[in-house]
Each structure stands twice: as C-alpha cells, then as structure tokens.
Chains A and B, each alone.
Chain A
Amino acid sequence: MPPVKRKLFNLDQYQVPRGKVQIISERCKGCSLCLEYCPNKVLAWSTDYNFKGYRYPVLEETEEKYCISCRFCEEVCPDFAIYVTTEPELTAKPQSTQRK
C-alpha cells in the first residue's frame, strides 16, 4: 500500500449503510458501554440528565462520522435503552476509512 494518502478515484461508487440511532434516555443508567464500543464514535454524553439523574448518550454525527448501522450499541446496552433503525437505501458517501 503506497503511503501517500490519496483520494480514491472510485469512492463515489461505494456506499455504506446508514443507520439512525434511537435513544430512550429514561432507560439509560449511564454505563457508557455504547460510547466505548461505537466503532465510528458517533455518540457523546448529553449535557443534561435524565429523570434518574444520569447523563445519557446523544447522537453527534459529522460528515465523516456517522452511524454505519452495525447495531453493536443495541447488543451491548444492558437496559435496552438504545436501538438502531436502518435507512432502507444505502445513501451515505463513504470516507476512506483508516485501518485499525
């Protein structure tokens, strides 16, 4: 792999799934598992508190960081407080992803 970070010519031919994160803030107890494990780091802490007195995750997407619908947050949440709905179309324009 050449070390120059080039723009990839045919990037626009590649689409990735786009998910929409749904957060049920009242159920959250602020364990931070979803923030920890989100591979694209699209979640952040809220500034206010839920009625239990916890901060809860909120969605913070940018051009480069968006939900890719892997649904791992659903899997790890112990309180069923987060789930993902997948948009029917693959619309997002992908960024060239850095390797691990």
Chain B
Amino acid sequence: MTRLGVFICHCGKNIARTVNIEALREKAATLPHVVLAKDYLYLCSKPGQTMIADDIREHRLDKVLIAACSPRLHGKTFAQTAQRAGLNPYLLDMANIREHCSWVHIDGAEGTEKAFSIIKGGLGRLLYAEPLEPFQSPVTKRVLVIGGGVAGIQATLDIANSGYEVYLVEKSPSLGGHMAQLGETFPTLDCSSCILTPKMVEVSQNEHVHLLSYSEVTRIEGNIGQFQVTVRLRPRYVDETLCTGCGDCVPTCPVVVSNEFDQGLGARKAVYLPFPQAVPAVYTIDWDACLNTDKLIICENCYKDCEAKAINFLMEPQEKMVEVGAVVLATGYELMPVARIGEYGGDEYEDVIDGLQFERMLSASGPTGGVVRRPSDGRIPQNVVFVQCAGSRDPEHGIPYCSKVCCMYTAKHALLYKHAVPDGQVYVFYIDIRAAGKGHEEFVQKVMSEERILYLRGKVSKIFKSGAKLVVWGADTLSGRQVEIEADLVVLAMAVIPSSGSQKLARTLHIASDLSGFFSEAHPKLRPLESNTDGIFLAGAAQFAKDITDTVSQATGAAGKALSLLANDFIKLEPTISEVEEGICRGCGLCVSICPFGAVKMLPSTRTGAMVAGINPILCKGCGLCTAGCLSGAVTLKGSSFKQIFAQLEEMV
C-alpha cells in the first residue's frame, strides 16, 4: 500500500489569494493513498523544507506531491529535500498550482477546483512513478569561447589564467570586436584600444589559449561536460605560422576596397590587416576582392613580395574537431542598418552616418586620423545633429526595446566633437535620457550644462537633402514647436541588434533566443549567465545590449560559471531520458530521423542481432519526441511513462 503525502504551498499570497488552501487541503486528504495533507506559507523556505523532510521520515511516506510553483523554479530544491529525507528524488513530484492555476484565475471557486484537479492528476501520475538513479558523465576540462570581442577576450583570459585550456573562435581576421573600433569610452574617456589591445596580446601569448581566428563553429554535438565541436577554419591564403606581419605584401596589391573595420569609411587592400594592432598580427587575403579565383591565379604580386613565403593561393577551408566541457557564447551585437529607416534617408545620403562610423572618425587610428569630417566633401562640419533612439523604442521599425548605450555614447560624441570644433553647433534629439550607471548621469549633465550643446526632447520626423546641406525636421516637445535644422552632418544612434550570424548559431547550438534575436537566459533574474542548455553560458551583448562595464562583468561571471563546472571530474546527468524496449522495437528507424540531438542510432540487438534503436544517454535530452513518434510504443521516457501520463489524464478529466 503506497503512502502518499501532499504538501500545499501558499506562496505568500501568490497561490492563497485565488485558491482556498484550507478547502483544498481537506479535499486532498480524502484522496486514495493519501496519508498526510499539509499546507505551509512558503514550502521552499528552510522551515518549509525541514517540515517536509521530517514528515517523510515520521509518516514513512513512499511518495510526495508538492503543490506549489513550476518545477522549473523549485523542482531541484524539493528533489534535494527528498534526498535529505532518504527518499528517492524521482518519487517526489510537483503539481504546478501557481503558473498553471492561481496566476491565471481570478475567481476563487474555479481556481480552487482547478487546483484540486491538478493535484489529483499529479497524484495519479505519482502512483506509477519509479525510483531513478542519476548517472555520471565525465567532464572534459576545456572551454570553447565563441566570439573574440571584449566579452570573449575577458572570458578566455579568466578561464585560461585558471589553468584550463580555451579554444577561442572568432569570425573575423582579428580579435577585438566592436570595442577595438571605438575611440574613447564613456564616462571616463579612456582610450578604448589602449585598454583593449594589451588584453588581446595577452590572449595571443597565453599558452592555454588556442586562438582560431577567421573561423566559425559549424556543428556542436554532445552534452554538458562533453561537447564535440566542429570549427571551420576559413582560408586566409596566408600561412599563419609563417607570416611575420611585415606588410611587404600590401604596397603592390592592385586592389583597393573599403575596410569593414572602418565601417566603410576607409580603404584597405585585398591583402590586409584590419587595423595595426590586430591579433593575430597576420595578414589575410580577402578572396572576394582578390583578382585570383579558385580556378585562376591572375596576380602574384603579394606572393612575389613575401620574403617569408607565407602566401599560398591554394589554401582550402579546414575543419577542426574540438572536445570541450563548456561553451561561452559572446557573439556580440551590430547596429541596425540605416537603410531600414526610410524617413532618415534610408542610407541614401552620404552625410547621414551611424554611431560606429562617427566613432571611427573620432579614433586616432581611423580613416580621418581623429578629425570629424563630412563623408561627402571631407570638410569639417559646423552643424551636427545627433538623433538618439534611431530605431530603438520604435516598434514600427521592429525594435521595441531601449538599446541602453546610445544616450551615453551620443553625449560622448557631442562632447568630443565640441572639443575638436569649439565653434561648432551640436543638437541632440532625445526621447528620454537614460543614464543609469556609475558616473553616467554626472557625465550627461556635464555635457548638457558645460558644453553648450542643445538637447531637444523629441523625435526627428524626416531628414532630406537641400543643396549641400541636410535638413532635419523634428519636434521639440518641451516648447511644443516644430524644429527645422540645417545640418552638415547627421549621426544616427542606431538600435543595437544581435550580430547577424547569431540566429544560425542558436540553431546549431540548440539554444533559445528571444523575439529580438538575443540569446535567452535560463532565468532573467537568477540565471542571467546561463542559456537554457546546460553547459552553454552567455556573455556580453549577445544576451542583450550592454556597455563595456556590464559586458566585462558578465564575461567574468560566465567564465566563473564555466570554471565551477570544470572543477568537477564528473557531473550527474538526469536519468529522465528515453529508453528502448528492444523486444518491441521493429527497427523502422523513424526515431533516428525524429531525434533533434542525434542521440538515437540503429544498433544490432544484443539478444537477436536484429537492428533496433539504441539511445545514447549522454546525448539524450529527454525531450520525448521519439517516445511520441514511435509507431510501436517501444520507447519510454523515464519519469514520464505512458502509464504515468494516462493516469494523470484520467484523474484530471
């Protein structure tokens, strides 16, 4: 005879507000097999857990149902409670009467009735629950970091300096990301590359770091502790081990194209180093621009001039297999293209630029050598209009969120321009100033009051060309007037969006992303550094728009998370995975094609030798797709067997 215990949580008023706990407890106590029904204000609190553990021992409970919140929130908490009381944690189940009931009901009577039916279903399911034991899996003591911006660099250094090997994969030819493009950083006006380049060099010199630049992750398999990663190394047509970085290949290269690193404002050759401080300091041939093709070698100028004989036009893409225990995702952001906002010229006007292009002009190593110039005629602009929230907080253009950094960097841009051109006039259009950070508000106030910069509260409706000048139409909502400004240069603080490859990467890694395309964290408050796949951690602007300070903090946090995983030799994996009954399986192979994780393979049966499905317990995530898809019902999902599901349904309806 099974002895069941039911514990009902008030969750403060979260559940008790809608559900009549007293009536629920009395009704639950009358259900078959129930020997104990109790309620408590906060079951997850220490006294609540102690009460459960004591009752399990005292009343010799075989199985326990906790009617409270979602198992996603406290499933682990109560499983540990059961374990402490000597009960197999898989004989404790949760009935979600908060998210599934009290939060979505207003009427008390209906809510209570539904809570009772959820509890009844939970008990039905619990009756057929069987004890399960977690199994152990070894942890590979290496980490993969994807993205070589400041987030990836920081995470890599933190992990490598703890003595673990790191593979750092960067898509572009050099480390540095967007931070390397910046001139000075707010609010202290530190030189961006001066604080970043030493870290880049440190990465390249650390013996624990394997830097894979000009590379992309194309495939990832496995589970927490054991990921098998395939990295595709794009050919740079220059041998990394031979190139000395002397630059002798550049002068005779006949092809000049615009430099992505300068946001299209500056030039580079087809054989190039994106910027002088690039790491690795190895030249790359841009095969799209080079005169040579895979079939035809037309120009050999660089080959002839390279004394180190590092240039190899026959280089082919390579695939590298890497085994790691954890992954840190730091793929960063990009700016929404100006072309997406038609009323601001939609990228038709040369003198309407975005924040990063202005940043390149401010940078001493930029295409203008740190002088602000009009892209159309190269003259120094006298009237500059900055437009904040260009795309951000604008659901019509598809970006409902605040990009978080624009208020600060626009204030910095205005200040730096004003210092360079003291008699120039600066106008800043803003909706609200959001300067919530250490020293941020003080910085903006200083810019507003001391620098004679006109802040106009309102949106810009239209930008159009009139002769050599641009006309900006906007509203000043504080004075209630329409404003028309003749500008030489307009700088749009474009919305921060996830970097372009991130959706593809999310699919490769089987992790979720939100509506805007940023990677989803496991819990917005309590697990902001983890993705919803165990062992994959998030750092930097790939999770959401953030400034350098927050990015570095998060990167260090993600590194810490990865390190605490690597501190274990083995990790316990959930036993709630699929299992095949070999005698029933007819070997159709349908489950092999259904499984999104590649965990099912056809293998000869140990008894009959016939081909049957076999499940790799490390790869199986327990999603249940094969269980539902199997035509002969040969696959069982442990912890959610057919018996359990049907018992739950029968009790509920």
A99→B256 CA distance, assembly (Å) = 9
Residues of A within 8 A of B254 (CB): 16-17, 39-40, 68-70
- Residue A10 interfacial (CB < 8 Å): yes
Is there contact, CB below 8 Å, between B301 and A69? yes
A72→B253 CA distance, assembly (Å) = 14
Question: A90 and B263 in contact (CB under 8 A), knowing A39-B298, A69-B301, A96-B258?
Answer: no
Tell me the smallest distance from the CB of A95 to a CB of chain B, in Å: 7
A14→B269 CA distance, assembly (Å) = 8
- Residue B595 interfacial (CB < 8 Å): no
Q: Which DSSP category, helix, strand, loop or mixed, fits chain A's interface?
A: loop
Q: Number of residue pairs across A and B with beta carbons under 8 Å?
A: 104
- 0 or 1 for each of B263-280: is its CB under 8 Å from A? (1 = yes): 111111100000000000
Residues of B within 8 Å of A, CB-based: how many?
41
Q: Mark out the residues of chain A between 1 and 46 whose CB falls within 8 Å of any chain B CB in the assembled complex.
A: 1-4, 6-11, 13-17, 37, 39-40
- Residue B583 interfacial (CB < 8 Å): no
Is there contact, CB below 8 Å, between A90 and B252? yes
A16→B288 CA distance, assembly (Å) = 18
- Residue B378 interfacial (CB < 8 Å): yes
Question: A72 and B299 in contact (CB under 8 A), knowing A90-B252, A96-B257?
Answer: yes
- Which B residue's beta carbon lies closest to that of A66? B254
Residues of A within 8 A of B350 (CB): 4, 6-7
A14→B348 CA distance, assembly (Å) = 26
Is there contact, CB below 8 Å, between B348 and A4? yes
A44→B336 CA distance, assembly (Å) = 45
Tell me the smallest distance from the CB of B470 to a CB of chain A, in Å: 14
Residues of A within 8 A of B457 (CB): none
Is there contact, CB below 8 Å, between A1 and B256? no
Residues of A within 8 A of B257 (CB): 96-97, 99
Tell me the smallest distance from the CB of A82 to a CB of chain B, in Å: 14
Residues of B within 8 A of A14 (CB): 256, 267-269
Is there contact, CB below 8 Å, between A9 and B348? no
A72→B298 CA distance, assembly (Å) = 5
- Which B residue's beta carbon lies closest to that of A11? B267
Is there contact, CB below 8 Å, between B301 and A2? no
Tell me which of B264, B339, B349, B368 contacts A10 (CB under 8 A): B368
Please give the residue numbers on chain A whose beta carbons come within 8 Å of chain B beta carbons, in ascending order: 1-4, 6-11, 13-17, 37, 39-40, 68-72, 90, 94-97, 99-100
| A-B contacts, 22 listed (Cβ < 8 Å) | A2-B354, A6-B264, A6-B265, A6-B375, A7-B375, A9-B265, A14-B268, A17-B251, A17-B301, A37-B296, A68-B299, A69-B252, A70-B291, A70-B298, A71-B299, A72-B299, A90-B251, A90-B252, A96-B257, A96-B258, A97-B256, A100-B288
